[in-house]
Amino acid sequence: MPRYVVDEAALVRNLEILQDVSKRAGVRILLAQKAFSCTAVYPLCAKYLAGTTASSLFEAIHAKRHFPGEVHVFNPAFAAEEIDEVLATVDHIVLNSMRQVSLYAAKAHEKGVSVGLRVNPEVSVTTTPAYDACRPGSRFGVTRDALDAAGGLPGVVEGLHFHALCEQGVEEFRKVLAGFEAHFGDLVPALKWVNFGGGHHITRADYDVDGLVETLRSFQGRHPGVQIYLEPGEAIALNAGTLESRVLEMQPKGADGITNVILDVSAACHMPDVLEMPYTPPMLGAEKGAGGPYVYRFGGPTCLAGDEIGTYSFNRPLHDGDAVVFGDMAIYTMVKNNTFNGINLPDIVLRHADGREELLRRFSYDDFASRL
Ligand SMILES: *Cc1c(COP(=O)(O)O)cnc(C)c1O
């Protein structure tokens, strides 16, 4: 049975870095649940973080039930039939357009929910268009021109939000922040808070944490009294989990000289970002590419020809039944997987800091059938 194994010790190392940033820079850091919603570790994360952000009503409810702390929510367009429950659940709501503001801001304010507006800083620093919220024609955020055309920022709006990064460092953040201040800086003194979104790869080994703290502190120097939020997802559980699989079958060497290996995990079902981003995940004990003595192409047990995880090289031959372990599998996996082809979902296991393994969830036919 394949399994996602969440590594508590690695998670705590990330959380300590984030808590250090929040203390040194006086910022509040939220978990973006869409990347990682492992309920069992919410109480642990809550010891280090100020709260969560949600992309939907359900994520907001999940946070409210399981994660002590502030609950923020953003959606490009809230549905009228859900807005009352959303407002009863969250502390902060970020709206994406002036129409959303006119529909929901007054109601939110009446219910004690702090209202923010997502703005578009019009600085593209992400090379993958699918992850560039500032790409031409983007549906995210109000530009300064659109804001002015709508008559400016209504007094009920207490915060401004942008999200324009993806797996990026301080240098890119500074560029986006400069665009934000150029377009919207004059509005900041009237605000209670600003939210600089996610995509900050703060816990990556080569990330310039001191540079981030300095950038945030200098913003506060220019805009005293405004609370800064960051809402990373990836950075919370980066490299904090693996996906353990097994070789179901080694095929004979193909015409291209590479042996296909069928695993009991699928890119399409269990690590969809491998196909969507796309990227080749790290594999423990192997190198990416065809550079080594034993070269294998790994694929999933589905009907999809493109369900290939990648080609890797080993120093030793692989055999039927061998274990194959993928790294960095805590984020954008358990929240995004599916049962295409009726393939079961991997177990979810928490490896505690003392090494003890706890089975959090095992899936069965009923989980597959209950959605259909
Ligand atoms: C995706 C997203 C995040 C989290 O992004 P990461 O890349 O996982 O850090 C935060 N805020 C918003 C609005 C997002 O869309």
Q: Measured in angstroms, how far is the CA atom of residue 317 from the centroid of ligand 1?
A: 40
49-70 pLDDT tens trace: 999 999 999 999 999 999 999 9
Mean pLDDT of 200-226: 98
| 335-368 b/e (C-beta count within 10 Å ≥ 16 → b) | bebebbeebbbbbbbbbeeeeeeeebbeeeeeee
Residue having the nearest C-alpha atom to atom 15 of ligand 1: 163
- 132 pLDDT band (50/70/90 cuts)? very high
85-114 pLDDT tens trace: 999 999 999 999 999 999 999 999 999 999
Q: Measured in angstroms, how far is the CA atom of residue 196 from the centroid of ligand 1?
A: 10
In the predicted model, is pLDDT for residue 21 greater than 90?
Answer: yes
- Token pair listed for 195: 């939210």
Residue having the nearest C-alpha atom to atom 7 of ligand 1: 199
What pLDDT, on a 0 to 100 scale, did the predictor assign at position 209? Answer: 98
Pocket of ligand 1 (CB under 6 A): 32, 34-35, 53, 74, 163, 166, 197-199, 231-235
Q: What ligand 1 atom has the least distance to the C-alpha of 331?
A: 8
Give the chain's radius of gyration (CA, Å). 22
- Token pair listed for 215: 């950038």
In the predicted model, is pLDDT for residue 176 greater than 90?
Answer: yes
252-310 pLDDT tens trace: 998 988 999 999 999 999 999 999 999 999 999 999 999 999 999 999 999 999 999 99
Q: Measured in angstroms, how far is the CA atom of residue 331 from the centroid of ligand 1?
A: 12
Distance (Å, rounded) from C-alpha 174 to C-alpha 211?
Answer: 10
In the predicted model, is pLDDT for residue 43 greater than 90?
Answer: yes
In the predicted model, is pLDDT for residue 233 greater than 90?
Answer: yes
Residue having the nearest C-alpha atom to atom 14 of ligand 1: 198
Q: Measured in angstroms, how far is the CA atom of residue 290 from the centroid of ligand 1?
A: 33
Q: Where are the alpha helices (DSSP H) in the chain?
A: 8-25, 42-46, 57-66, 83-89, 98-110, 144-149, 170-184, 209-222, 234-237, 267-270, 273-276, 365-369
Q: What ligand 1 atom has the least distance to the C-alpha of 201?
A: 9
> Which residues fall within 8 angstroms of residue 287, CB to CB, at 6 or more apart?
312, 313
Q: What angle, rounded to 10 degrees, do the helices at 209-222 and 170-184 form?
A: 10
> Which residues fall within 8 angstroms of residue 205, CB to CB, at 6 or more apart?
none
